[in-house]
């Protein structure tokens, strides 16, 4: 049996743990494991690298992916479908394991419909893929963001400033919620729940009245609804946004907008920090290495059991699987009830 393994979409801590576990499991089962370079593009370019005990040695603690990644879709190319199918057949892959986020699983689903035996592994720091409790990478990102909040507290307190931290989270506010609560933030803005900038201002002023001359505000990059409030539905700002190769708007910058607005309305010195790619880089946490390893082993078992068109899933501490169609049907966003419960911290 011959399995092709690819990593697609944004890089994410824990990718190498998954690749390593797949290679080791394949070795123990006498299955040929072939790394496909740079996501789905590697199949089109016939760019491959054999995965064995040696090629995956010493990578479990490394961020990024030894296979490289891209946001390339063969289905966006003229004649791409046919070319993809031919190349997969010519290479003799019995299955492809696609380690990716929501966009990459859309491609995996199309490939499955085309007749390619695909198994998915859910990856994203945003934790927004349905059908699984956690995606690997999220724990690392949430820990990095929490540490950033801890560090911002120093300057906030010493200089009596309002500090805004912008974290990643395109459609879902998981990183903002987990790091914000863990770091003791005074307000959190997420894409799922529209709030008014004056709600934030009110908390800052309440704290001031209680003698707290600083505040920490966390905002997800995807909480772009604040642009509407600031620019009164003037879409010029949105229209200017560049797109990535999955056709999605490139995000980043709402933290600065929010900081400006808070400063205007409170007259307190306010600064913004955009955490950006730091959240995706560096060593994965023990949890992400463990989760990645479990996903890797399970994905090979899924291939052996012919559970194609399905994605590994981690549910209540156990590995199982869900259909890719179900997983990509709806994003897993933060429950508004959960957000409302946290209001006790935003006063």
Residues forming contacts to ligand F6P in the complex (CB under 6 A) are 10, 101, 124-126, 168-170, 221, 244, 251, 280
Whether the Cβ atoms of residue 98 and residue 42 lie closer than 8 Å to each other: no
Position of minimal CB gap to ligand F6P: 168
* Least spacing, CB of residue 295 vs ligand F6P, in Å: 17
Q: Which one of the listed residues 11, 27, 45, 126 is annotated catalytic?
A: 126
* Least spacing, CB of residue 29 vs ligand F6P, in Å: 32
Give the neighbor-by-neighbor strand order of the sheet with 215-220: 187-189, 215-220, 162-167, 270-274
Residue whose CB is less far from ligand F6P, 280 or 289: 280
Residue whose CB is less far from ligand F6P, 139 or 186: 139
Residue whose CB is less far from ligand F6P, 170 or 310: 170
* Least spacing, CB of residue 101 vs ligand F6P, in Å: 5
d(CA 95, CA 116): 7
Residue whose CB is less far from ligand F6P, 174 or 346: 174
Distance of alpha carbon 249 from the chain centroid: 15
C-beta atoms surrounding 105 within 10 Å: 28
d(CA 333, CA 169): 10
Residue whose CB is less far from ligand F6P, 280 or 307: 280
User: Active site includes 198?
Assistant: no
Whether the Cβ atoms of residue 183 and residue 213 lie closer than 8 Å to each other: no
DSSP string, 71-114: ---GGGSTTHHHHHHHHHHHHT-SEEEEEE-HHHHHHHHHHHHT
* Least spacing, CB of residue 160 vs ligand F6P, in Å: 31
* Least spacing, CB of residue 159 vs ligand F6P, in Å: 29
Residue whose CB is less far from ligand F6P, 10 or 131: 10
Q: What burial class does residue 167 get, using C-beta atoms within 10 Å of its C-beta: 0-12 exposed, 13-18 middle, 19+ buried?
A: buried
Burial track 241-258 (b if 16+ CB lie within 10 A, e otherwise): eeeeebeeeebebbbbbb
* Least spacing, CB of residue 128 vs ligand F6P, in Å: 8
- What are the distances in angstroms from CA 102 to CA 176, 196, 263, 287, 299? 19, 29, 37, 21, 17
Which segments within 67-222 are labelled E, that is strand?
95-100, 118-122, 162-167, 187-189, 215-220
Known catalytic residues are: 126
């Amino acid at each position: 049996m011959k399995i092709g393994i690819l990593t697609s979409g944004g890089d994410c801590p824990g990718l190498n743990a998954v690749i390593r576990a797949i290679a080791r499991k394949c070795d123990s089962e006498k299955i040929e494991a072939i790394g496909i370079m740079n996501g789905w593009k590697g199949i089109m370019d016939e760019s491959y690298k054999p995965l064995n005990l040696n090629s995956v040695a010493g990578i479990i603690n490394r961020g990024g992916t030894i296979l490289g990644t891209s946001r390339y879709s063969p289905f966006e190319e003229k004649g791409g479908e046919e070319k993809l199918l031919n190349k997969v057949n010519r290479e003799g892959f019995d299955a492809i394991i696609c380690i990716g986020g929501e966009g990459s699983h859309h491609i995996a689903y199309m490939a499955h419909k085309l007749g390619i035996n695909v198994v998915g592994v859910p990856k994203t720091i945003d934790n927004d893929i349905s059908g699984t409790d956690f995606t690997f990478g999220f724990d690392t990102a949430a820990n990095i963001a929490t540490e950033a909040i801890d560090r911002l507290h120093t300057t906030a307190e010493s200089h009596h400033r309002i500090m805004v931290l912008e974290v990643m989270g395109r459609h879902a506010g998981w990183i903002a919620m987990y790091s914000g609560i863990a770091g003791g933030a005074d307000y959190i803005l997420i894409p799922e729940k529209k709030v008014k900038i004056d709600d934030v201002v009110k908390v800052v002023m309440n704290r001031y009245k209680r003698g707290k001359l600083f505040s920490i505000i966390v905002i997800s990059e995807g909480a772009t609804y604040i642009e509407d409030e600031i620019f009164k539905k003037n879409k010029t700002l949105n229209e200017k946004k560049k797109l990535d190769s999955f056709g999605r708007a490139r995000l980043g910058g709402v933290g600065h907008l929010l900081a400006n607005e808070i400063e205007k309305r409170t007259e307190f010195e306010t600064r913004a920090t955009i955490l950006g790619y730091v959240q995706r880089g560096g060593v994965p946490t023990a949890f992400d290495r463990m989760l990645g390893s479990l996903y890797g082993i399970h994905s090979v078992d899924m291939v052996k059991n012919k559970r194609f068109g399905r994605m590994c899933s981690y549910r209540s501490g156990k590995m199982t699987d869900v259909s890719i169609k179900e997983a990509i049907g709806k994003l897993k966003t933060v429950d508004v009830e959960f957000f409302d419960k946290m209001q006790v911290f935003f006063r």
